[in-house]
């Protein structure tokens, strides 16, 4: 069987969907190359001296792991000189990173969580990189961009994707015409198309939520999970299975692979925060992928992709995955 690489796939997409500009193709290739480098560092683990924490905290007040910072540097260095970006933003940086004046500026904005699932780094469980691509404002060549320029709803994303560093290294991508999965051929160093037109089944018997927060949940979340746990004799009339990896990338990858519902809802531990996960570089790209695969994504009441962001590091409640289950949870919130 002839294998199709990421490069070939993107060129074909560009031909078939004239809407995919060459700059976006280049951008995705550069991000994918950076993910290879991150995957390589992750794979070395203790041998590379990359495990453990630093003294520093990120803007969210979380202690940074060495690999969080290294992955951020890899993505910035790979993307700043190519001429395809106007600016970048990351979970690990307080404010945006403008392209230095010595390089040409492009028409796109790149947002990322360089290494998601930080609590899993040192215990050798799957982690990943999440990214989102937006258009820069038209006049971005003539002025310095600000955070404000990034505050576009997720429905404006041009592309979104993630890499998972697990037993296999995979890249899952959408440019708005379905969801495609690539597996890294570690000998050849190339991304090979292995999953075409990924679809999420509408129904599922599997949910993912951190159950240790149960006592803090809002009543609609409690009701939904109670009904799942009641099994065949409960209102749902079927048994449910539970999985929680605590890496959003790995949990969402499972949902895209075999269906399921993933939730990180608001809870009463920090009542003033809408949730734990970040809208712009975690929830938005994952929601675009999930919708492109036929699933749904809400914050409990609203479609995530419709939310108008008000801050770069804004948090949001997340309910995503198999359409019928997401709609049920969302209905419980509205009732
Ligand atoms: P991070 O960006 O600091 O790694 O946090 C995000 C992660 C998600 O990947 C995951 O879904 C969630 O945090 C797990 O949280 P918890 O440890 O509360 O279960
Ligand atoms: Mg993260």
Which ligand 1 atom minimizes the distance to the CA of 210? 19
Q: If you average pLDDT over every residue of the chain, what do you get?
A: 95
Q: Report yes or no on 1 lying in a domain.
A: no
Quick one: pLDDT at residue 103?
A: 94
Would you give the distance in Å from CA 166 to the centre of its chain? Answer: 15
Quick one: pLDDT at residue 142?
A: 83
181, 320: one domain: no
Which residue's alpha carbon is at the smallest distance from atom 16 of ligand 1?
246
Q: Report yes or no on 67 lying in a domain.
A: yes
| 321 known member of a binding site | no
Which ligand 1 atom minimizes the distance to the CA of 91? 2
- Token pair 């050798």 is found at 124
Task: Write the pLDDT tens digit of every residue in 193-208.
Answer: 999 999 999 999 999 9
- Could you tell me where the DSSP H helices lie in the chain? 6-16, 22-44, 66-80, 219-229, 248-258, 284-292, 323-334
263, 328: one domain: yes
**CA–CA dist 279, 60 (Å, integer):** 13
CA of residue 287 to ligand 2 center, whole Å? 15
Whether the per-residue pLDDT at 60 is higher than 80: the answer is: no
24, 147: one domain: yes
pTM over 0.90: yes
Q: Where is average pLDDT lowest: 39-53, 124-138, 151-165, 179-193?
A: 39-53
Q: Which protein residues touch ligand 1 with a CB less than 6 Å away?
A: 62, 91, 113, 116-119, 210, 246-248, 264, 276
Quick one: pLDDT at residue 231?
A: 98
Domain's final residue, options 130, 161, 195: 195
First to last CA, the chain: 52
Cβ proximity of 200 and 293 under 8 Å: yes
Collect all residues with Cβ–Cβ distance below 8 Å to 121 and sequence separation of at least 6. Answer: 42, 51, 65, 67, 68, 115, 127
Tell me what ipTM this predicted complex has.
0.96
Stronger pLDDT, 50 or 80, i.e. the higher one: 80
Which residue's alpha carbon is at the smallest distance from atom 3 of ligand 1?
118
CA of residue 130 to ligand 2 center, whole Å? 8
Quick one: pLDDT at residue 310?
A: 98
68, 152: one domain: yes
Task: Write the pLDDT tens digit of every residue in 254-266.
Answer: 999 999 999 999 9
**CA–CA dist 207, 217 (Å, integer):** 15
Quick one: pLDDT at residue 20?
A: 83
Percent of the chain residues past pLDDT 70, beyond the cut: 99
Q: Report yes or no on 200 lying in a domain.
A: no
| 62 known member of a binding site | no
86, 191: one domain: yes
Structural domain span for residue 29: 6-195
131, 211: one domain: no
- At CA 82, angle to CA 170 and CA 284, rounded to 5? 45
**CA–CA dist 282, 117 (Å, integer):** 11
184, 279: one domain: no
CATH number for 87 = 3.30.540.10
Q: Report yes or no on 14 lying in a domain.
A: yes
159, 223: one domain: no
232, 312: one domain: yes
CA of residue 136 to ligand 2 center, whole Å? 24
Which ligand 1 atom minimizes the distance to the CA of 127? 9
């Amino acid at each position: 069987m002839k294998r199709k690489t990421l490069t070939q796939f993107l060129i074909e997409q560009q031909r078939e969907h004239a809407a995919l500009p060459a700059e976006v193709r280049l951008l995705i290739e550069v991000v994918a190359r950076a993910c290879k480098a991150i995957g390589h560092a992750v794979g070395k683990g203790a041998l590379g001296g990359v495990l453990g924490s630093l003294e520093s905290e990120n803007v969210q007040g979380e202690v940074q792991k060495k690999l969080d910072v290294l992955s951020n540097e890899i993505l910035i260095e790979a993307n700043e000189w190519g001429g395809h970006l106007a600016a970048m933003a990351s979970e690990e940086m307080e404010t945006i990173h403008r392209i230095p004046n010595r390089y040409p500026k492009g028409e796109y904005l790149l947002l990322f969580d360089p290494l998601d699932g930080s609590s899993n780094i040192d215990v050798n469980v799957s982690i990943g990189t999440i990214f989102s691509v937006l258009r820069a404002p038209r006049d971005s060549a003539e002025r310095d961009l600000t955070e404000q320029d990034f505050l576009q709803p997720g429905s404006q994303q041009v592309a979104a994707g993630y890499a998972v560093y697990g037993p296999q290294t995979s890249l899952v991508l959408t440019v708005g015409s379905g969801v495609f999965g690539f597996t890294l051929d570690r000998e050849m160093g190339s991304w090979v198309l292995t999953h075409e037109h990924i679809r999420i089944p509408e129904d599922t018997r599997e949910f993912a939520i951190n159950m240790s927060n149960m006592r803090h949940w809002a009543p609609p979340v409690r009701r939904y999970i109670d009904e799942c746990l009641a099994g065949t004799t409960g209102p749902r009339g079927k048994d449910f299975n539970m999985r929680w990896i605590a890496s959003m990338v790995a949990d969402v990858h499972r949902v895209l692979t075999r269906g399921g519902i993933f939730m990180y809802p608001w809870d009463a531990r920090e009542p003033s925060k809408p949730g734990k996960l970040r809208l712009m570089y975690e929830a938005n790209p994952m929601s675009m992928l999930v919708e492109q695969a036929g699933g749904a994504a809400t914050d409990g009441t609203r479609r995530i992709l419709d939310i108008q962001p008000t801050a770069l590091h804004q948090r949001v409640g997340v309910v995503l995955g198999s359409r019928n289950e997401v709609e049920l949870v969302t209905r419980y919130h509205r009732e």
